Every structure is written in structure tokens, then in C-alpha cells.
Amino acid sequence: MKLRILLVDDHTILREGLRSLIEKDPLTVVVGEAGNGAEAVRLTGELRPDLVIMDLTMPVMNGIDATREITGRYPETRVLALSMESDRYFVVEVLKAGATGYLLKDTAFAELLEGVHAVARGETFLPRKIATLLVKEFLQCIPEEVSPVYENLTSREREILQLVADGKSTKEIAFQLGISIKTVENQRYAIMQKLQLFSIAELTKYAVRHGLSPLTT
């Protein structure tokens, strides 16, 4: 069965070009075209396409609002945004509205076709440029820890923390590092105070979370 597609763009010539390209793929067929978001919502209800290729900046109703309407009313229909806009706002907002893919209009047809089939399968599809944009945005939103482990602990303390997380006893740690049991106990106490953790289990979780010790099965 062919993948049924609705094209949404306010430029007729662009829709015609997309139609001719998409229908070269034997697995896809264009079942309708819309020139604005409101028309896209209406036609989605009438035609029930598998996929809507959605422009974002259109009259009457923009593509973000249309995507929200379509994915809310017809969750079985996937939306792939196809836009000239590479601004973070457009990307984030249309994905939040329910689109599962975002492509730029200057993309190669092979990538468009790849995106069409990926989104139709329920996968998220983003080109490298857009993915990089979102990753940078995500990293900027991650709050820095007040005292990251590599700054807060000495190299010896990290070493002891790793051995504790690996299940080594105080005696085993002392023997492996060539230090006294008392020194190991003092170092472990200092680690707990710095990290505000008060059990071996908490130290182990912390070490795993910060890459100081691998997850154990």
C-alpha cells in the first residue's frame, strides 16, 4: 500500500514541484494539497493521509498551529515540517506541536524522501544542521553543577570513590593503593562531606552517574 501524503504550502509552484518529485517514488502518492493551515486541517479530516508535509509560514493559519490541530485530532497522521526557517523557535515549536520531523526547503530530494519514510514509521527525523542547533540549545539549558565532581574531588579521592563504587572493601582499597586503612577511612569521609552523600550506596550511584564507575549487572 502506498504512503498517502498531503502537501501543505502557500506557494502553488512549490507544491507542484514536490508532487512531481514525491510521485516518482513508487511507495508514495500525493492525495491532496492545501495552501494554508486551516485548509490543511480540513483536508486531513477528509482525506486521512498517512503523512502531512507542512510549511510553517502561511496565511489564515500557520503551520505550527495547523500541526497542533492535526496531531491533536488525528494522531494517526504524522507531520513532517518543511520550511525555509532554520531558527530555533520554529524548530522547537513545531516539534512541541506534534511534528516528528523537520527539514529545510534547500534539502536534497533523497534526504526529503528519507525523512518522509522515517516520519511515516513514527521516527523523529532531523537533518544534521537542525540536530546540531537543538543539541546546542539543550546544552545551554542544562544548569551547571555548583561543584562538579572533577573540580570538587582530588585525583586520589576520585580513585577511592571509584574503588568504593566497584565494591572494594576498605582493606582492599588500602592494599591496592599502598596506604593505611585509616587513610582510606579519612578520605572516604572527606568524599562524603564534599558530596553530601552519607552511604556507600549513594557514593556508588554518584560514581556511576558521573562516569567514574561503570554500571554493574
CATH of the domain at 163: 1.10.10.10
Query: Does residue 217 fall inside a structural domain?
Result: no
Q: Which phi and psi angles does 187 have, rounded to 5°? A: -65, -40
Q: How far is CA 195 from CA 184, 212, 215, in A?
A: 16, 14, 20
Please enumerate in sequence order all residues whose Cβ is within 8 A of that of 121, keeping only pairs 6 or more positions apart, or say none: none
pLDDT at position 27: 92
Query: For position 217, what pLDDT does the model report?
Result: 38
Q: What is the pLDDT of residue 137?
A: 65
Q: Are 51 and 79 in contact (CB under 8 A)?
A: yes
Q: Tell whether 156 and 136 lie within a shared domain.
A: no
**Domains of the chain: total:** 2
Same domain, 51 and 90: yes
Q: What is the pLDDT of residue 118?
A: 92
Residues 134 and 166 in one domain: no
Final residue before a domain boundary, out of 112, 141, 170: 141
Nearest-angstrom CA–CA distance, 99 and 71 = 8
The predicted structure's pLDDT at residue 29: 93
List phi, psi (to 5°) of 32: -175, 165
Cell of 141: 539549558
Q: Mean pLDDT by 10-residue block, N- to C-terminus, for the chain (217 residues)?
A: 93 92 91 95 96 91 94 95 83 90 89 91 85 71 52 82 87 92 92 86 78 55
Question: Angle at which helices 88-96 and 63-73 pack, to 10 degrees?
Answer: 20
Quote the domain boundaries for residue 84: 3-141
Q: In terms of DSSP H, where are the helices of 74-127?
A: 88-96, 109-120
If asked whether residues 137 and 41 sit together in one domain, one would say yes
3-state secondary structure of 99: coil
Give CA 53 to chain center in angstroms. Answer: 20
